[in-house]
Amino acid sequence: MSSRPRRPIRERTSAVLDPRARAEAIFERLSAARPDPHTELRYRDPFTLLVAVVLSAQATDAGVNKATEKLFAVAPTPEAMVALGEEGVREYIKTIGLYRTKAKNLVALSRAILEQHGGQVPRDREALEKLPGVGRKTANVVLNEAFGEPVIAVDTHVFRVANRTGLAPGKTPLEVEKKLLEVVPERFRKGAHHWLILHGRYICTARKPDCPNCPIRDLCDHYARVGPTASGTAPAGKGGKGS
């Protein structure tokens, strides 16, 4: 009498943990791999961070860093950015996508900072979002990175990882952000979006996630559904790039 072949046993920890417990386990591992995560954008202060984040929309951090290295040498302050003007700014950022619109926004937000905030980047989300070219994600990055606020910025990497893993599924960035704030333990909130961005950029990539080297795959809904995507899978959390 023949028996049916057994399916490979897959790690299914994600199915037995409640959302908060799973979130804590995920960030325990991601924080162990990168204890002090930060943005890969280069900046000097809140103003140059704001400029870099505005420029990073639909652009790579490497491309932004290359442009801002020269831009910040001549316009590291709101006063200098206004003095440089749109045409001058365009010359420094023309290698970046949407550079004309971004140049216009950088000069306008610099002028607004001078006229409405005494030359200082406001430490308030509502005020930040009123600046030209600044949306909720950009405001959250500045609040988190420059001012140490435990807010979570949701970019394309965070959105993908949160949905793919089941950590905080949502149809919009705002929905994902709210769910992350519900499940991420307070002690991990300051670094949460940095860990998710780096995980999405180097492991949980858009086209082909590197599941064999993922330190949280046993906590992931996607992996529970599809199983190993490559041979030689080692136990989760041991070995590989993500450990």
Which residues are the active-site residues? 137, 155
Is residue 227 within 8 Å of residue 21, measured between CB atoms?
A: no
State the Cα–Cα distance between residues 10 and 55, nearest whole angstrom.
Answer: 42
State the Cα–Cα distance between residues 171 and 137, nearest whole angstrom.
Answer: 16
Is residue 236 within 8 Å of residue 217, measured between CB atoms?
A: yes
Helix, strand, coil percent content, the chain, rounded in steps of 5: 60, 0, 40
User: What is the three-state SS of 26-80?
Assistant: HHHHHHHHCCCCCCCCCCCCHHHHHHHHHHCCCCCHHHHHHHHHHHHHHCCCHHH
Collect all residues with Cβ–Cβ distance below 8 Å to 206 and sequence separation of at least 6.
156, 160, 200
State the Cα–Cα distance between residues 163 and 119, nearest whole angstrom.
Answer: 39
State the Cα–Cα distance between residues 190 and 161, nearest whole angstrom.
Answer: 17
